[in-house]
Amino acid sequence: MSSSSSSSSLCLSILFLSLLLSIHGVTSSKSKKKPTTAPTKIGQGYRLLAVQETPDGALIGHLQVKTKNNVYGSDIPNLQLFVKHETEDRLRVHITDADKQRWEVPYDLLPREKPPVSRMTLGRSLKNPITVSEYSGSELIFSFVSDPFGFAVKRKSDGQVLFNTSSEKSDPFGDLVFKDQYLEISTRLPKDASLYGLGENTQPHGIKLYPNDPYTLYTTDASAINLNTDLYGSHPVYMDLRNVDGKAYSHAVLLLNSNGMDVFYRGNSLTYKVIGGVFDFYFFSGPSPLNVVDQYTSFIGRPAPMPYWSLGFHQCRWGYHNLSVVEEVVESYKKAQIPLDVIWNDDDHMDGHKDFTLNPNNYPRPKLLAFLDKIHSIGMKYIVIIDPGIAVNSSYGVYQRGLANDVFIKYDNEPYLAQVWPGAVNFPDFLNPKTVSWWGDEIRRFHELVPVDGLWIDMNEASNFCSGKCKMPKGQCPTGTGPGWICCLECKNITNTRWDDPPYKINASGLQVPIGFKTIATSAVHYNGVMEYDAHSLYGFSQSVATHSALQGLQGKRPFILSRSTYVGSGKYAAHWTGDNQGTWENLRYSISTMLNFGIFGVPMVGADICGFYPQPTEELCNRWIEVGAFYPFSRDHANYYSPRQELYQWDSVAQSARNALGMRYKLLPYLYTLTYEAHTSGAPIARPLFFSFPTYTECYGLSTQFLLGSGLMVSPVLEQGKSKVKALFPPGSWYSLFDMTQTIVSKGGKYVTLDAPLHVVNVHLYQNTILPMQQGGMISKEARKTPFTLVVTFPAGESDGKAEGKLFLDDDELPEMKLGNGQSSYVDFYASVSKGYVKIWSEVQEGKFALDNGWIVGKVSVLGLGGGGASAVEIDGKAVTPGSSSVEMTLSDQVHVQGEDEDENGEGKSKSVMVEVNGLSLLVGKNFALSWKMGVSS
């Protein structure tokens, strides 16, 4: 069960939606409260009294408050400034209390350098006093003014100011504010800067940040249907993209702080208002979007390697009441000839909703093990859910062992009592090393009970059906008579502490509800006295780290973890789905923006519940959703307990769309897997906004209805009801339809094209200069990856000269690491050129043994965009292949330029290029090869 936003039996009615929203304490976007803003300017900031250089070339400065005030509490009088160029393209600016240690994101959870403890003594001579106001690194320059203190960050190569905190009278923001529970800092922005990030939230205006929308960061179990609301994750990072005189420049800014915050983006400025912690800024110089995510993930952690099978299609539902239903689902997918790699269980397999248990009646272990043997034998996988709340139950071994090991979060020195699906629960404290060990042991025990292939960690914001300080009721809890998410503990609100009722109210849940509402009380205490107030947004992240460690240690295999709650660095350990969405056209559209944002956040393995989690998609919507969801990096159909069944075979028309779209996905698996390798080694998102590949083309800066897979495979789906055409933006260049490679769109300056898109058609186009490795597909990834390869080569249509490149990564996806050099992986670069009619395609193998051992071959090459008719015989590795003496065949097909630049008077595209297909090849993937022929030769 994916959330406490689950419905009642009235799920199809308006009453259901009202009830659902009231349960969460959230409302629709129309009735949201605007966040209460602080007074425009608080105080007069700080002055820099002294600054010196450290032995390793960093700066340490001492700041003193100018005039104290009591707005949101008293000012911290003395601050330490620490500035360091950590790499050529990363600058850190850290500001904290000079006299007392403050909360920071734990250094063992997110490894990084610790700032030195300053020994600066005011009034005495400094060893290395700084007299200049600029501190320059390889690519970034830090400059400052002393009174009032402000700093700026500038990129050296082009002189652009990336961040500037100094305030003038005309600015809508003030100077630096640093109090115990209220920190404020602002930056100016150019009006034409395009910003992305600051999530997790559902952004109705698309991926680009929209001025004056609320951006609140605080992990909350508020469903994804709530617009402009802090949702399950907290990612206080943004990417800034600017076009200056036709050149594109991007950079990113991370505020590494886990406390709740409001970020006010006004178009020409951005202000952070944070309720604790420190200012720990990291600036990443770019200048390209890919450079930015490379630099960002090199700091926060590279995205986790994913097993090959995880790129297959997944099916889940809360409400598979017994094992026979699961077996029927698997068989029905097979019968419908729809690919399926992974079958999931929500909590239906559990005994009384308790983690690490099996329901002995509905999921008897012997029958479940027999089922798993059957699906494992063909390569299918099985994943189940676990929630963090551990049932308070004296006969429950998991709870007893947790209690004995003292692993739970405390309140008044007792385990904090909350309620989730099993009733009363305690929450494990994953900041405690003993908890990590205990959790790993419980996962080991469960794996011995059921050999699952991955774990789904849900409700880990953490979600609580109650609020405040609770105790066990005299009666039964849950009562068994009402919805399971109604609080039945005896609870009282906690408002008498500054942690539960801080002076500044962030816009929590879009309503400024108390920050402990429906979660762990913020005055609860973690290991070593850490307050939940500070660590709240790290909960799901710390659980991901512990779960990853447990799974990797279990069998030495590559783990697969799906987490709902995420924080900076979560992508190193887990995949993510966008949580509880609705089966509506709006939610289909929103899913694209959220997916693209998570690629920027370093969590590239992401997707939304296909067809919507609740209450019921229409048949048409489910058709269109699988045409988008088949191209999510993480592709899973998932539905609510009370919703009607929506597996893809439930409608004949949806099954047809699924066979078409997923059929293409399974052919693209080698490409997608290579993209996961790129993500793991460089942070590059799998699904990307178009501006990643076309950063100078400003028309695509706000585009949120199309996306790229990798650098050049564009998906342009139908996102509106009743439409059989889609208006798609084509950046400059030649684009080839992947479903019909004779169809070409030539976009010389960039343009919109209206494409035909009947119900079962999704438009996917491949960009010029690309070599795309594909296979023949299949019903399961294990079999699909054994089939011969096809290389699709694209040149600019009809041009006499052109080049193309591609790559392919293959490995044993059971291995925990995804890397070269272990004898269990291969990497191949593919190249192609056409010059004066001479066509050549060749490979350069970096490591070939693994591919050779598996016998992979290239059986077909399709070359698109060639000029001139006719072709000479093919040469392979310099030797001519005599027609009729081998299985190699060459065919030529005219390519139609759809709405090309020079249509005839009837609007018909004139054929200006040809496609050449070479079949019957047996080129070894693990060995260098060269293929060539001459165009324009009479046959």
DSSP string, 624-685: HHHHHHTTSSSEEE---TTSPP--TTSSHHHHHHHHHHHHHHHHSHHHHHHHHHHHHHH---
How far is the C-alpha of 403 from the C-alpha of 394, rounded, in Å?
Answer: 10
If one counts every other C-beta atom within 10 angstroms of the C-beta of residue 36, the result is 11
Judge whether 106 and 98 are in contact, CB under 8 Å.
no
Number of residues in the chain: 939
Find the catalytic residue in 240, 348, 387, 458: 458
d(CA 466, CA 487): 5
Q: What are phi and psi of 136, to 5 degrees?
A: -105, 140
d(CA 793, CA 831): 9
Helices 585-600 + 619-629 axis angle, to 10 = 10
The secondary structure of residue 557, as a DSSP letter, is: P
User: Is residue 51 within 8 Å of 130, Cβ to Cβ?
Assistant: yes
Q: Which two tokens stand for residue 606?
A: 């992401």
Angle at CA 196, nearest 5°, toward 770 and 171? 145
The pairing of beta strand 743-747 with beta strand 733-737: antiparallel
Strands 381-386 and 342-345: parallel
**Coil, strand or helix at 439:** helix
Residue found by looking up tokens 């409001």 in the block? 262
3-state secondary structure 227-253: ECCCCCCEEEEEEEEEEECCEEEEEEE
- C-alpha 571/C-alpha 518 separation (Å) is 26
Grouping H, G, I as helix, E, B as strand and the rest as coil, residue 543 is helix
Q: What is the spatial order of strands in the sheet that 177-178 belongs to?
A: 177-178, 183-188, 269-274, 261-265, 214-217
Return d(Cα 63, Cα 78) in angstroms, integer.
Answer: 6
Amino acid at 94: H
> Which value, to the nearest 10 degrees, does the dihedral of the CA atoms of residues 172, 176, 178, 184 take?
40
Q: Is 412 a catalytic residue?
A: no
* 751, containing H or E segment: strand 751-756
Contact 700, 690 (CB under 8 A): yes
Distance (Å, rounded) from C-alpha 390 to C-alpha 188?
47
How many angstroms separate the CA atoms of 683 and 752, rounded?
30
State the CB neighbour count (10 A cutoff) for residue 581.
27
Provide CB contacts within 8 A for 415, sequence distance 6+: 392, 403, 408, 409, 426
Phi and psi at residue 595, to the nearest 5°: -60, -45
**122 Cβ contact partners less than 8 Å away, ≥ 6 residues apart:** 49, 50, 62
Q: Which of 240, 262, 280, 580 is catalytic?
A: 580
- Name the catalytic one among 461, 637, 647, 678: 461
- Residue 872 CA, chain-centre distance (Å), reads 48
Q: Cβ-count burial of 92 within 10 angstroms (0-12 exposed, 13-18 middle, 19+ buried)?
A: buried
Q: H helices of 385-503, where?
A: 397-404, 433-449
Other CB atoms within 10 A of residue 756 CB: 11
Question: Is 461 an active-site residue?
Answer: yes
Write out the two tokens for 580.
């509880």
Active-site residue set: 458, 461, 580
